[in-house]
């Protein structure tokens, strides 16, 4: 029995360490469905602007929402609709007051290491195409949409300490109260966080906060754009923010063994990736320069998070 436990433990550790890195590819980091609703009219507004100005410049695709997507009537989840390919359940955005992704007021993200960034971007894409994509597609096939949404909700609920500390650092007590309220309601009435009862029944909106946003709120510059091998897009500020997140994460606070922490991170990344398989495909098909598209969307996405 001890030998069996040791073998299983080593297997989980190995898979956890590898997948924790591999499933953090650039497109997941740039548009993480578990963090923020993505405006459904980004792509359409860009197409209209291009047609109106009759610009021949290569278009930049920020995020493409699947046409095979419908909301459940409450605006909280999406459901699969039969189609030629598996439908991607994308989040919907009820609030129409969104930041234009081509707003000139958004400061440009400096990219002095573009040559090296492109090298790692291509490397990450190869890892995705040869490994990550196949694992994610198998996961989608094995686990129904409802279960994957429930798993995503559990992970979001567990990130409460990160959102709470970030909100407090920003002095936003309204958000802090929402974080605590959502956690208490969803952890009890929501069956451990599987159901988002707080939003569906009490209209308590999710709070998307992390330490990177807290640093940005206090006007700490993002620094140069970076593409990290296996981890994907980042910036100097984001590196410090992600490191700080570790020290307020539940795994660190409860001193979870490294093996357990790696297994949890693996499950989270695999589940996140399963929602974005078709989005990644559309991004490749519609972007003449995928690197620029991901970089620009990363910049817009994090700028909006800080301004929320």
The per-residue pLDDT of the chain, averaged, comes to 76
Residue 65 located in a structural domain? no
Residue 44 located in a structural domain? no
Residue 230 and residue 124 in contact, taking contact as beta carbons nearer than 8 Å = yes
Q: Look at residue 83 in the predicted model and tell me its pLDDT.
A: 35
Q: For the chain, what percent of residues have pLDDT higher than 70?
A: 66
Residue 56 located in a structural domain? no
Q: Which of 185, 160, 164 is nearest to 175 (CA)?
A: 164
Greater confidence (93 vs 217) lies with 217
Q: What pLDDT, in 10s, does the model give residues 85-130?
A: 334 444 433 333 444 445 557 889 999 999 999 999 999 999 999 9
Residue 244 and residue 216 in contact, taking contact as beta carbons nearer than 8 Å = no
Domain count within the chain: 1
Q: Which of 86, 42, 32 is nearest to 212 (CA)?
A: 32
Greater confidence (45 vs 146) lies with 146
pLDDT over threshold 70, residue 63 = no
**Looking at residues 186-200, what average pLDDT do you find?**
96
Residue 24 and residue 230 in contact, taking contact as beta carbons nearer than 8 Å = yes
Q: What pLDDT, in 10s, does the model give residues 224-258?
A: 999 999 889 999 999 999 999 999 999 888 888 98
Residue 242 located in a structural domain? yes
79 by DSSP, 3-state: which? strand
pLDDT over threshold 50, residue 220 = yes
Which are the contacts of 281, defined by CB distance < 8 A and separation ≥ 6?
Answer: none
| Model confidence pTM above 0.75 | no
Q: Which of 94, 92, 64 is nearest to 78 (CA)?
A: 92
Residue 138 located in a structural domain? yes
Residue 113 located in a structural domain? no
Domain that holds residue 304: 127-308
Residue 256 located in a structural domain? yes
């Amino acid at each position: 029995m001890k030998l069996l436990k040791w073998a299983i433990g080593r297997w989980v550790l190995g898979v956890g360490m590898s997948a924790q890195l591999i499933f953090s590819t650039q497109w997941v980091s740039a548009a993480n469905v578990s963090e923020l609703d993505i405006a459904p009219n980004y792509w359409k507004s860009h197409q209209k602007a291009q047609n109106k100005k009759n610009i021949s410049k290569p278009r930049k695709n920020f995020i493409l929402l699947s046409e095979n997507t419908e909301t459940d009537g409450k605006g909280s989840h999406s459901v699969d609709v039969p189609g030629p390919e598996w439908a991607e359940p994308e989040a919907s955005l009820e609030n129409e007051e969104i930041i234009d992704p081509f707003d000139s007021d958004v400061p440009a993200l400096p990219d002095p290491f573009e040559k090296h960034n492109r090298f790692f971007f291509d490397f990450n894409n190869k890892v995705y195409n040869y490994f990550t994509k196949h694992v994610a597609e198998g996961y989608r096939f094995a686990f129904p949409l409802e279960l994957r949404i429930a798993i995503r909700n559990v992970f979001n609920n567990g990130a409460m300490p990160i959102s709470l500390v970030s909100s407090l650092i920003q002095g936003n007590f309204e958000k802090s109260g929402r974080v605590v309220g959502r956690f208490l309601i969803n952890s009890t009435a929501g069956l451990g966080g599987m159901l988002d009862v707080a939003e569906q029944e009490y209209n308590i909106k999710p709070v998307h906060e992390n330490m990177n946003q807290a640093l940005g709120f206090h006007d700490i510059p993002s620094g140069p754009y970076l593409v990290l091998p296996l981890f994907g897009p980042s910036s100097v500020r984001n590196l410090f923010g992600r490191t700080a997140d570790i020290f307020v994460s539940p795994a660190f606070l409860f001193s979870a063994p490294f093996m357990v922490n790696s297994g949890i991170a693996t499950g989270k990344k695999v589940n996140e990736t399963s929602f974005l398989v078709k989005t990644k495909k559309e991004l490749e098909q519609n972007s003449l320069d995928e690197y620029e598209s991901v970089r620009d969307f990363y910049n817009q996405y994090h700028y909006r998070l800080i301004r929320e």
